[in-house]
Structure 1
């Protein structure tokens, strides 16, 4: 009897995971973050297939955000799927979701914090996340709406420290098809249909309108834009880091001093990256440091008229003195 191999969607998700784990050391532990939805369930199943063939150990983590009635039972059921899928273990991570940044950001922060802690405790070399091409498209649209610049438009990275996102080139339909082919019953989180969440409105309203008015392939085009933007952003970041090293006269806790002449010579996109880097190094909280703050500091270089300093988040000030730009905790001596 001829072996026809796995269904195409199953082959696609397995191939994506195998490529994502290409540089993992034999014997290492890799974890799949799984909510029980189609994307992460397909991810966990693909990891269970690929890991032993790559000489890796594999487990499953699921996060209970405690935001819905019955969430603990749901999380326990997802963790219990681990041995059925062929994974060594499943573990529930219970978190407390705060309020900072809104409900979506607070839940994300709690989730990533729990995943990072568990990976460190278990000695894992990587945590796989089930974000798809559709998620990437949504991220790009949200960045466009915020006017956040190139780094935001570059979306989610396929590799970001501990995390791997194997499915960024696959549509959400592929993970659904893979689960169906494998006979896996996935869970549809009610939050994924709740219009109170911005991402849900982008998914259910904005993207369908774009597809209807502009034709099919919008999500794929947005994801491709993210890849191109990421390449450009990484090149600019490297350039800015080189400029920072050349212009930084001092970089001590709570104060950074930069030589103005070197900053005057570079393009604005590079200069603003250097200024943001300097402000954060001096103590400004990155989440509170906006593009408006950075532009105000840049005017001390590009439109210098002897003006007073600029106040920044974290109690910092930026002032220009004798050809230098000083960013430090106020007041600057």
Structure 2
């Protein structure tokens, strides 16, 4: 299998290394402005040049923050008969996302969605625990994610601000929808570094009401460009609680009220996430491209995640709750 990559960030390099470790997989070309001599693959300035110059099975868009939108890059690949792996959010608006979904349903060219969060061991363990009923009926969903300031989050630049907030919220919304189902309504509060409310975004909190009745608190905090991403979560239910912190805790904690002694909690320590996260993820991508397995996240699911994220962004601007169903464009 011959692949192309789009991206100049560390994620693209990590993906390339994972692909190269797989048998019969070659990274033939990379779209990047970098002139790093360590890239063994040919370098291109644009995805069009990549698909016209190389014989490829698929292109993995590792970093969609390029001169062309991801929607444009998907169309270039599909027009060339080349499969594509998209990074959520898959488009800037619902019209583009729907067009990608429709294109994915036509022909034999695969369109996959990057779902890295589903391969993180803490999330997989949480999914197993929730589905097994270890916390009972979910009641409260709390997540906190800290991320570096990459790209503009200045509210004076409406387009850049909206794009930044979409990218910041997408991973958390995708993860909690996977774990707890659809979200019906969102209310987003934001903080900025200037009292005029027109400065740089420093944090956003989305209060979400799930269709199940559970309430979510999704907290995103923006540091400086050199900060690393960290994630905490606490999922509570009628029978117990799941908690995890990538910095503070050594493992996923499961505290469950036992039926023998009400009010007494039992903790189950599960292994810390292993370093093979990207390897497992890339192996699945290759298997999906070959048709050996189904993709873990369908494009339809990604469109609904984007709909929820768009509702959250609109709420941040309006200062009022927004119902997800009312977001149609």
TM tier, shorter chain? under 0.3
Greater relative contact order (Cα 8 A, min sep 6): structure 1 or 2?
2
The TM-score with structure 2 as length reference comes to 0.24
